Amino acid sequence: MSIEVYLSEEKIQNRVNELAEQINKDYAGKELFVLGVLQGSFVFCADLIRKINVPVEIDFISASSYGAGTVSSGEVKISYDLTREIKDKHVLIVEDIVDTGLTLNKLMKHLEKKNPASMKLASLLFNPAKLEHKVDIDYLAFEIEDKFVIGYGLDYDGKYRELPYVGIYSND
């Protein structure tokens, strides 16, 4: 097993600052409901909201199609739902990675039924090579190659989330 640094801590923080600046402009004069998708987005979400200067309300939801593997199972499970109302609120979903798009498609349909005023997506990573379901990412930090990545909240079987960078995981 080896881990190669793919996106450094400094590069990630610079990009988080840039995304927050854009979000601050786009939501100036509004309140923002930030919805972190657990578990992978918690680090990105925490760093991002500390840079947002509009009023923020935060909640979390847990949806996944991976389980303990490195390949999507094809089945999405929402194991933890919102604890707050989003009706008529400006919702920003914060996700760690969009690859197949399956999880985000199901999640967004689930959230649309709750009648938010608007809904946008911020994602740390996007892997276009695996995309099967179209997803519009409004705030994207990095487009990546088709590699299995860990760190900065992303895991392999519950491990490596604490790394301050995004690394490429391999069994070599």
Q: pLDDT for 83-104, tens place per residue?
A: 899 999 999 999 999 988 888 9
Q: Answer whether 123's CB lies under 8 Å from 141's CB.
A: yes
132 pLDDT higher than 90: no
- Number of other residues whose CB lies within 10 A of the CB of residue 70: 11
Of the listed ranges 9-23, 45-59, 77-91, 150-164, the one predicted with least confidence: 77-91
Instruction: Kindly tell me if the per-residue pLDDT of 31 is higher than 70.
Output: yes
Catalytic residue among 59, 88, 96, 99: 99
Q: Is 12 helix (H, G, I), strand (E, B) or coil?
A: helix
Provide the pLDDT for residue 93: 97
pLDDT above 90 (res 35) = yes
158 or 67, which is more confident: 158
- Grade residue 133 by pLDDT with cuts at 50, 70 and 90: confident
- Tell me the three state secondary structure of residue 101: coil
Query: 3-state DSSP call for residue 148?
Result: coil
- Residue 156 is classified by DSSP as B
Give the closest residue to 15 by CA, choosing from 131, 152, 156, 148: 152
Mean pLDDT calculated for residue range 29-56: 96
User: Is 99 an annotated catalytic residue?
Assistant: yes
Domains of the chain: 2-170 (3.40.50.2020)
